Structure 1
Amino acid sequence: MGRRYVFFDIDGTLVSYAGGTGHIPDATRRAVELLRRNGHVPAIATARGAFLARGVAEELGIGLLVCCCGAHILNGTEVLSAVWLPEGALRRLRGTVSEGFVRSAALDDRCVYMDDEDEAVRDYLDGQAGYPCIRPVAELRRAFLMYSFSPDPSASPLFREPIEGVVLDRTQHFIEARPAGTSKWRGILEAARRLGFAPGDVVAFGDGANDAEMLRGASVGVAVGGAPDAVKAAADLVTDDIDAGGILRACAELGLTDGA
């Protein structure tokens, strides 16, 4: 098999939370090592900001990062693309927070902007970033992504009215706002254009709703065991849970780790 660019989501795909703490299963580490040994390029496609993905990436020796659902793309220290939310979106966030609607957050390339974090959230985010990364919303000047957290996302004042140049993804627990024209798959396509590999060379692994497009678009899309049915339906292959060695098994089934 020729060289493949193998993109992994992070949370629920590379990183397991079984047992209550985030960890990369040993079998997943082995899969990434074997991919590299067989001449393939492991990469990451995540909703996390680059500063929250770097720890996982460095632990696995991964340099190509499609972050913030395709709005921020890096190859090592080189920024390949950065697409920021429009100023109107930032004004909306600052305004709703000042009116008392504080269950919101935003990400730029170094910080999380939020005003209502608890100690557990702060400890987790600072641990992922490797430094104190939370700043008040009043300091927000630019962002790749915004979030509104609510038991009823449809009632969020932040996104009650459309915002030009912004696409919304809704889940049961939050609304994610990203720049129009961005997604994980479109970020992968931009990385391919910039680095000179073909979309047909892409294999993608994921478990969440924001992974479905890249699973459909990749030459082979792999849904891991904990993925919802709609995500599994978008994939070409459904593998076992990551804590049961699903990623390693799928790489072997696809012939990505032959001869290792």
Structure 2
Amino acid sequence: MALDIDGTLTAVGSNDISPAVKAAITRVTEHGTKVVLCTGRSLIGTTPIAAQVPASFAVCSNGAVWWDPVSAEVVKRTTFEPGPTIEALRALLPDSVFAVEQTGVGNLSLGEFLPGDLWGVTTSATFDEIAAIRTPRLVMRWLDRTPPELSFAVKDLELPGIEWSVDHTEAWLTAVPPNTTKGTALDELSRELGIDPRDALAIGDGSNDVEMLEWAGLGVAMGQAPATVRAVADEVAPTVLEDGAAQVLTRFFPA
């Protein structure tokens, strides 16, 4: 069972999981089902969630960082050079700010993000300093803009050598290494575990969840998900404010 975090288990940006959702996830694991947290969050943003639910595994940074909650070890980390992507986005989107993930620590930032945007320790850096490192995850916020404005601005944008997605709740873009998505990570992980994707259930609400929902035997979009996400899902759950994930899980694992 693959579960997105923001907009699925919690309100966006929150670490608060409702009692109903916690209880439902616990019932799932008590039946022997493996629960994988599958999120665009960095590892340091994922650990507070993993501490609250009995997850077997965590796929962070849209698939670029794999973490074992039992051993507390990063078991896989895929990186890319962020410099060319930053240059392309800076030219197209003035007033944008950038941050690259330092796994387990925080971020190096180019420009100032809004309070609460980034997990962990944030350290200001120059473009040359950021471009000189490899990272599993680059994020960009277009300040004082809306998600529709960002989506329209990048609709014809080509960013070779990476995978990228735009958030539907903030003017926020996430870039990760090429051929890295939640779907590709789950496909590889399921093969290692000997689990057929047809036996998997996935729940999510964002554009970065599309490949995950298509991969799973049953892909469920949250009720507040954009139409493009709901369109690829097999079914649509109630919203996160209605504990939609708990309602779906309870169908298969009743109290």
- In the alignment, structure 2 segments of 5+ residues that lack a partner are none
Counterpart amino acid of residue 236 in structure 1: D
Say if 2:8 is the partner of 1:13: yes
Aligned counterpart, 1:74: 67
How far apart are residue 34 of structure 1 and its match? Answer: 0.9
Aligned counterpart, 1:57: 50
The residue matched to 2:173 in structure 1 has which SS? strand
1:78-116 CA-partner distances (Å, limit 9, x unpaired): 43422101x3x336538988xx96511222313222143
- In the alignment, structure 1 segments of 5+ residues that lack a partner are 1-5
Would you say the 8 A contact 1:105–1:147 is kept in 2?
Answer: yes
Aligned counterpart, 2:124: 136
Would you say the 8 A contact 1:65–1:74 is kept in 2?
Answer: yes
1:206-236 CA-partner distances (Å, limit 9, x unpaired): 0111112211210111112211222122111
Aligned counterpart, 1:3: none
How far apart are residue 23 of structure 1 and its match? Answer: 1.9
Q: Distance in 2 between matches of 1:170 and 1:94?
A: 18
Further displaced range: 22-31 or 182-191? 22-31
The residue matched to 1:41 in structure 2 has which SS? coil
Q: Give 1:148-227 correspondences, 5 Å limit.
A: 148-150=140-142, 151=145, 152-153=149-150, 162=158, 164-171=160-167, 173-227=171-225
1:20-50 CA-partner distances (Å, limit 9, x unpaired): 9652111111111111112212211111111
RMSD: 2.9
Aligned counterpart, 1:28: 21
Would you say the 8 A contact 2:167–2:206 is kept in 1?
Answer: no
1:126-162 CA-partner distances (Å, limit 9, x unpaired): 5xx4xxx112233532211212322354668xxx985
Would you say the 8 A contact 1:73–1:191 is kept in 2?
Answer: no
TM-score, normalization by structure 1: 0.79
Task: Report the number of matched residues.
Answer: 237
Say if 2:41 is the partner of 1:48: yes
Correspondent of 1:232 among 230, 233, 245? 230
How far apart are residue 249 of structure 1 and its match? Answer: 1.6
Would you say the 8 A contact 1:102–1:115 is kept in 2?
Answer: no
How far apart are residue 53 of structure 1 and its match? Answer: 0.4
Q: Distance in 1 between matches of 2:228 and 2:237?
A: 15
Further displaced range: 111-120 or 174-183? 111-120
Would you say the 8 A contact 1:16–1:25 is kept in 2?
Answer: no
Q: Distance in 1 between matches of 2:207 and 2:157?
A: 23
Aligned counterpart, 1:84: 79
The residue matched to 1:226 in structure 2 has which SS? coil
Q: 1:102 to 1:252 in 2, by over 3 A?
A: closer
Q: Distance in 1 between matches of 2:195 and 2:75?
A: 14
Q: 1:38 to 1:146 in 2, by over 3 A?
A: same
More helix by share: 1
> Sequence identity, in percent?
26
Would you say the 8 A contact 1:80–1:191 is kept in 2?
Answer: no
